[in-house]
Structure 1
Amino acid sequence: MQPNETNQSAARPAADFNPYAPGYDQNPYPALEKLRAEAQLQYWPAGRAWLLSRYDDAVAVLRDSKRFTADRSEWEFASVLGSAVLIPELEELNKYGLFSLANQDHARVRKLVSPALTPRAIERLKPEIQAIVEDVLDAAAAKGTIDVTLDFAEKIPARVIGSMLKMPKGREELFLRFTDAVVKCFLPGMVNPQELDGLRADMREGIELVKATIEDRRNAPLENDILTTLIQTEEQGERLNKGELLALASALIVGGFETTVHLIAFTIYNVLHRPEVLAQVRAEPDLLRNTIEEVLRHDNFGKMGIARYALEDVEMGGATIKKGQMLLVMLGSALRDSATFDKAEVFDVRRNTNASIAFGHGAHYCLGANLARLEVQLAVGAFLRRFPEMKLLGQPSFGQHPVIRKMESLKVQLNPTV
């Protein structure tokens, strides 16, 4: 059975778009500007999705929970791909995941989870995160020349998440394998069949670790512990069930790893290759927070966008999005829309970033945004402070990834004068 790709409107030509073309990861913006200029909405046959590239439309769709859903099971091609049949471990995580819950259950779970992830709750983690960052930097300093991605950015989130969830030490490699397996298996069409057994094994090992940790914490609660908070939180007699706890703890590992790694690497690159920005941030350290927001806007590491699925036929931009079709909200394009952002192509650390939708918008705004922001702020701030003479060595290299502009390597000489 092959998916029907004839549903696009005859009045709307197919998008000439290929996020896997050579050079796209290094600089996707000419392609995104072309999309934005050509039409409000275009159909992308290779991705079986509609592409929405303008800011106002992006916000409108992300707010619209009546006509669009984040629940992947509503996708008309979900049964064709058969991911749940191929990968039952993924189905175990998806069944109670936030993107799979009906609107009422989604709202209930978010209400129960939110107290554990407020800015105040996350701020309590600051000393732990700072200590981890300094420890990683101590090891990096001994090398002189480092790869920011491998030697710094990838070392921090796994240890932070392990500390947050009070998991056994030395599980960073498992977190990395678990994260990689879940991300790849969300797109089963991208998985090499020879890889599947290994990916499933990594996913099973990660799931078993999370389950065991939840049971340990249920039997022996800890103070100031996010997992204990999730287990004990109650609202009007409602508590998170076992499936919801598993999905949420796994989401913290998977979502908290990939996003934070790339935001650290992209922020360091964007600061170091702009001497004027580096000088501004060094002179005014408080500008770092806004600089991170500007990186998210100006050089977003997403390859494509946020997926939504039509709950009914929707007329938009002279086209009809059929029930069950996917719509990709192209964040990298929307956040460069000059109709919303003055001089959108300019990297401005003093820009008002209140309009940013980098972490989503509406009912599905990212619950982990506060944690990611704090980790990146502490990591990049310490990096800039400890190595005042550092020098960027060439341009970053990018590796293959289905949904992220994966900055695979970024070389920096920490003490050029030594």
Structure 2
Amino acid sequence: MQHNETKQNPGRPAVDFNPYAPGYDQNPYPALEKLRAEAQLQYWPAGRSWLLSRYDEAIAVLRDKRFTPDRSEWEFAAVMGATAVIPELTELNKHGLFSLANQDHARVRKLVSPALTPRAIERLKPDIQAIVNEVLDACAAKGTIDVTLDFAEKIPARVIGSMLKMPKGREELFQRFTDAVVKCFLPGLVNPAEMEGLRADIREGLELVKATIEDRRNAPLENDILTTLIQTEEQGDRLNKEELLALVAALIVGGFETTVHLIAYTVYNVLQRPEVLAQVRAEPELLRNTIEEVLRYDNFGKMGVARYALEDVELSGVTIKKGQMVLVMLGSALRDEKAFDKAEVFDVRRNTNASIAFGHGAHYCIGANLARLEVQLAVDSFLRRFPEMKLLGQPSFGQHPVIRKMESLRVQLSPASA
């Protein structure tokens, strides 16, 4: 599909940027450094978007109410992606947090927040630890493992299933549902031949969520996140059925793949630095900050988070037209030397309060507390369980539209002679 890109690019040369180029997933930082050096804001014709690569401007846009994460406001929303031909996804998206107007967004977040506070998430700790221990038992039997496939991918889907108390054994459906939703929101990614299969995965995933909600409505549980959300709806607190469904679906989609990658990237960044591994082992409390530094230093996002202009906005000397997309390049902003001293250095003692890895402002990730606890328990247990493990080479990366997908990371858990 061709469009006149020069119309979308007033007075600014188009940037030559390709996040799908060979080697980008392994090391995107030379390309991102080039973006930061050239300009604060550049138009990227292939992505039909503006690229924002510096920290201060990233904060400004994420705070600015003239920008929305609601994809339906994009000028190309009607002609790009697959939502138009998957009515179930279109309906789901209408009621998701990203699509709600500011007032409704604030209302729903306020209703959901008590279910996802650090205290509420802390109650999940024994269940998460039990899942991690089971996965580690299976790893121990192998001796040599793939951290991504054998460890990281085995945990988040089970945690979400446990958190929502869904029927066991549905992890594969979670993965198919997540993959389908991610693919369908990305321009030009979906092959028409795939469409019916994707729609079936989405429909099946939503049916599981609906059935679980109804089961819990009929048999509420104490100290249960889903029961809390349902009772909020039933009390007439203005969390309707559609919003409830969208929230639970978002927990599955948002809490699965990103957490898999944060576990894998944390293990990799620690194991490839013997001095960091020694520090974390000597001071286990450092692990929490280490995870934050992994998010800053080696963010697994391929590009960034999208925002769409609700009106014409002047930014960094250019006009972002109403309906245009701005990609806030988190991986670049988090390496901005003006915001982070010695940004190119991995420092587990760094003050990471300025990090925007989980977003910023009104749309800060509601699942951040869960992700942090999950990754902390997983990586801490992994490092304790196998004190003599070592990397077997560098990771390999697979194709993915929006994530630097660490496809494989081989680790030997104990000395070969053992």
Question: TM-score category by the smaller chain?
Answer: over 0.9
2:227 aligned partner: 228
CA deviation vs aligned residue, 1:187-233 (integer Å, no higher than 9, x gap) = 15101222111111111110000001111111111111110011112
Structure 2 residue runs of 5 or longer lacking an equivalent are: none
Q: Does 1:404 align with 2:368?
A: no
1:280 aligned partner: 279
1:342 aligned partner: 341
2:414 aligned partner: 415
Q: Does 1:356 align with 2:355?
A: yes
Secondary structure (helix, strand or coil) at the match of 2:78 reads helix
Residues 115 and 225, structure 2, Cα contact 8 Å, conserved in 1: yes
AA aligned to 2:76 is F
Residues 62 and 360, structure 2, Cα contact 8 Å, conserved in 1: yes
Secondary structure (helix, strand or coil) at the match of 2:6 reads coil
Secondary structure (helix, strand or coil) at the match of 1:402 reads coil
AA aligned to 1:71 is D
1:5 aligned partner: 5
1:31 aligned partner: 31
Deviation at 1:337, TM superposition (A): 0.3
CA distance in 1, matches of 2:379, 2:13: 43
Secondary structure (helix, strand or coil) at the match of 2:13 reads coil
Deviation at 1:239, TM superposition (A): 3.3
Structure 2 matches for 1:229-308, cutoff 5 A? 229-233=228-232, 237-308=236-307
Deviation at 1:371, TM superposition (A): 0.2
CA distance in 1, matches of 2:139, 2:89: 35
CA distance in 1, matches of 2:359, 2:298: 16
Secondary structure (helix, strand or coil) at the match of 2:342 reads coil
CA distance in 1, matches of 2:235, 2:244: 18
User: Normalising by the residue count of structure 2, what TM-score does the alignment of the two structures yield?
Assistant: 0.98
Residues 81 and 186, structure 2, Cα contact 8 Å, conserved in 1: no
Residues 41 and 51, structure 2, Cα contact 8 Å, conserved in 1: yes
Comparing 187-196 and 71-80, the one that deviates more: 187-196
User: Normalising by the residue count of structure 1, what TM-score does the alignment of the two structures yield?
Assistant: 0.98
Q: Could you say what the CA RMSD is over the residues aligned between the two structures, in angstroms?
A: 1.3
CA deviation vs aligned residue, 1:358-395 (integer Å, no higher than 9, x gap) = 00000000000000000000000000000000010000
Comparing 227-236 and 212-221, the one that deviates more: 227-236
Residues 81 and 190, structure 2, Cα contact 8 Å, conserved in 1: no
1:53 aligned partner: 53
2:72 aligned partner: 73
Deviation at 1:263, TM superposition (A): 0.0
Structure 2 matches for 1:4-403, cutoff 5 A? 4-65=4-65, 67-81=66-80, 83-233=82-232, 237-403=236-402
Residues 25 and 397, structure 2, Cα contact 8 Å, conserved in 1: yes
Deviation at 1:318, TM superposition (A): 2.0
Secondary structure (helix, strand or coil) at the match of 2:79 reads helix
Q: 1:82 to 1:403 in 2, by over 3 A?
A: closer
Deviation at 1:90, TM superposition (A): 1.3
CA distance in 2, matches of 1:259, 1:245: 22
CA distance in 2, matches of 1:5, 1:398: 31
Deviation at 1:5, TM superposition (A): 1.8
Number of residue equivalences: 417
Deviation at 1:92, TM superposition (A): 2.4
Residues 315 and 321, structure 1, Cα contact 8 Å, conserved in 2: yes
Residues 82 and 190, structure 2, Cα contact 8 Å, conserved in 1: no
AA aligned to 2:167 is P
CA distance in 1, matches of 2:321, 2:43: 12
Q: 1:182 to 1:9 in 2, by over 3 A?
A: closer
CA distance in 2, matches of 1:50, 1:85: 24
CA distance in 2, matches of 1:15, 1:373: 35
AA aligned to 1:223 is E
Secondary structure (helix, strand or coil) at the match of 2:326 reads strand
Residues 12 and 318, structure 1, Cα contact 8 Å, conserved in 2: no
Deviation at 1:237, TM superposition (A): 4.6
Deviation at 1:2, TM superposition (A): 4.3
AA aligned to 2:161 is G
Secondary structure (helix, strand or coil) at the match of 2:98 reads helix
CA distance in 1, matches of 2:407, 2:73: 33
Residues 9 and 320, structure 1, Cα contact 8 Å, conserved in 2: no
CA distance in 2, matches of 1:235, 1:189: 40
Structure 1 residue runs of 5 or longer lacking an equivalent are: none
Residues 231 and 239, structure 1, Cα contact 8 Å, conserved in 2: no
Deviation at 1:7, TM superposition (A): 3.1
CA distance in 2, matches of 1:272, 1:320: 45
Comparing 8-17 and 337-346, the one that deviates more: 8-17
CA distance in 2, matches of 1:258, 1:82: 20
Q: 1:253 to 1:236 in 2, by over 3 A?
A: closer
